[in-house]
Amino acid sequence: SQTIHQWPATLVQPVGSPLSLECTVEGTSNPNLYWYRQAAGRGLQLLFYSVGIGQISSEVPQNLSASRPQDRQFILSSKKLLLSDSGFYLCAWSPGGDGQYFGPGTRLTVT
Amino acid sequence: EDQVTQSPEALRLQEGESSSLNCSYTVSGLRGLFWYRQDPGKGPEFLFTLYSAGEEKEKERLKATLTKKESFLHITAPKPEDSATYLCAAPSGNTPLVFGKGTRLSVIA
Identity of the residue in A43, A49, A99 whose CB atom sits nearest the CB atom of B49: A99
Cα A108 from Cα A35, distance rounded (Å): 14
Asked if B101 has any chain A CB less than 8 Å from its own CB, the reply is: yes
Whether A41 has a pLDDT exceeding 80, the answer reads no
Torsion angle in degrees (nearest 10) through CA of B106, B38, A15, A62: -120
pLDDT of residue A97: 66
Contact B44 A44 (CB under 8 A): yes
Cα B50 from Cα B54, distance rounded (Å): 9
Whether B2 has a pLDDT exceeding 80, the answer reads no
Percentage of residues in chain A having pLDDT higher than 90: 81
Whether A15 has a pLDDT exceeding 90, the answer reads yes
What is the distance in angstroms between the Cα of A18 and the nearest Cα belonging to chain B? 24
pLDDT of residue B93: 82
Residues 50-89 of B with CB under 8 A from A: 87, 89
HEC secondary structure over B31-98: CCEEEEEECCCCCCEEEEEECCCCCEEEECCEEEEECCCEEEEEECCCCHHHCEEEEEEEEECCEEEE
pLDDT of residue A98: 65
State the average pLDDT over residues A20-45.
92
A92 interaction partners in chain B (CB closer than 8 Å): 43
Contact B97 A41 (CB under 8 A): no
Tens of pLDDT, residue by residue over B28-47, are: 777 899 999 999 999 999 99
What is the distance in angstroms between the Cα of B87 and the nearest Cα belonging to chain A? 9
Asked if B95 has any chain A CB less than 8 Å from its own CB, the reply is: yes
Contact B43 A103 (CB under 8 A): yes
A101 interaction partners in chain B (CB closer than 8 Å): 46
pLDDT of residue A61: 65
pLDDT of residue A42: 76
* Cross-strand bridge partners of residue B57: B64
pLDDT of residue A56: 92
What is the distance in angstroms between the Cα of A44 and the nearest Cα belonging to chain B? 6
Tens of pLDDT, residue by residue over A49-99, are: 999 998 999 887 678 999 999 999 999 999 999 999 999 999 999 987 668
pLDDT of residue B29: 76
pLDDT confidence bin for B14, thresholds 50/70/90:
very high
Contact A100 B96 (CB under 8 A): yes
Average model confidence (pLDDT) for chain B? Answer: 94
| Whether the Cβ atoms of residue B73 and residue B35 lie closer than 8 Å to each other | yes
What is the distance in angstroms between the Cα of A23 and the nearest Cα belonging to chain B? 13
Contact B99 A49 (CB under 8 A): no
Contact B96 A46 (CB under 8 A): yes
Whether B26 has a pLDDT exceeding 70, the answer reads yes
Percentage of residues in chain A having pLDDT higher than 70: 97
Whether A105 has a pLDDT exceeding 90, the answer reads yes
